[in-house]
A and B are shown apart, each in its own frame.
Chain A
């Protein structure tokens, strides 16, 4: 099936099989490997992206469903500078080790920060409840998000 969408601001046209999920489309067809795949059934959050501005699991969206949509991945958010401060805070606070969860964490965290300028730790944890990290124990991730929120409002 033919699809046309924008990915990180660029127009993309492709011919895909209906069974192809958006995560594989981004990784295999567009070489955007920052979108990680862990479980492929919606549980781990490693594949978190934005579709038309809203959070989504790339493993639970078919590429054909994204026809006509505006898709943004970690590459897009990084290149535009939108989350530069958040990335810096993750680095400084040691909020990543292996980095597998990090793209999804950053996108989920940014989603919260766009809506709430000063979320408390409980709200941050709640918003990240669908993103697993097997390395850090989450504490440093919450620290980094609090630091970013303070930086943006100060």
Chain B
């Protein structure tokens, strides 16, 4: 199918994006890599009247060390993160997770900011950010807000971003520690049926609820996952237990 008609604005600054969001309200949507928004529009699951293209805003596409944190700009593409040496050295959990995100052509365009703002509970990256205790940076006319990943994902495709706020970067603390990542999917590149991203004793499950679900190692899982075409809730509970056991084995003794 084809997307419905809309107006298109190519923004050049973050301030312009926030002003446009404030002006048009819920009818406007930010367009980053377009790899989630455009399929939704082609399927007519979304029909914004204004698209604000942030793809050409400069300064949001860098990966850099900031003291004891690694900062990834909102417009950095999945593929760039996957191939980045700093990320591989300091946050190998993220490198491993990105191998499981979609396919090469989609990774070449999809952005980290778009993925996190989309807040798909089946996505790998929100769970990684929760396990890593990452902090989202959100800009609005009121300034920059820092939001901990644990409080950023508020529900199914819902985040703590205000209507006129834009995600500009994510800060990942370089705490080190042993990590684990695994997901169960029917085919390579598919969204997971159940997945687990873990750092130290923080286990962040994905595809088991309306947002990433954090559990401490040793804590009861007590999950209430969805029943859908991919898997029943009971199957997801079972698989989450399997992944938890594998994680504890892999991280054994060190957590």
A64, CB-defined interface residue at 8 Å: yes
**Residue total for B at the interface (Cβ-Cβ under 8 A):** 30
**B2, A60: Cβ atoms under 8 Å?**
no
Q: Chain B residues near A125: list those with CB within 8 A.
A: 188
**B3, A19: Cβ atoms under 8 Å?**
yes
Q: How far is the CB of B108 from chain A (nearest CB, A)?
A: 4
Q: Chain B residues near A19: list those with CB within 8 A.
A: 2-6
Of all chain A residues, the one with the shortest Cβ separation from B189 is A129
Q: Which of A47-70 contact B (CB under 8 A)?
A: 48, 54-57, 59-62, 64-65
**B42, A1: Cβ atoms under 8 Å?**
no
Q: Chain A residues near B187: list those with CB within 8 A.
A: 129
Q: Chain A residues near B53: list those with CB within 8 A.
A: 64-65
A152, CB-defined interface residue at 8 Å: no
A127, CB-defined interface residue at 8 Å: yes
Q: Which of B13-54 contact A (CB under 8 A)?
A: 31, 34-35, 38-39, 42-43, 51, 53
Q: Chain A residues near B238: list those with CB within 8 A.
A: none
Contact surface of B with A, Cβ cutoff 8 Å: 1-8, 10, 31, 34-35, 38-39, 42-43, 51, 53, 55, 79, 102-106, 108-109, 187-189
| Other A-B pairs beyond A45-B103, A60-B109, A62-B34, 18, CB < 8 Å | A19-B5, A19-B6, A21-B38, A42-B38, A48-B105, A55-B108, A56-B108, A57-B35, A60-B34, A61-B34, A62-B38, A65-B53, A65-B55, A108-B104, A111-B104, A126-B188, A129-B187, A130-B106
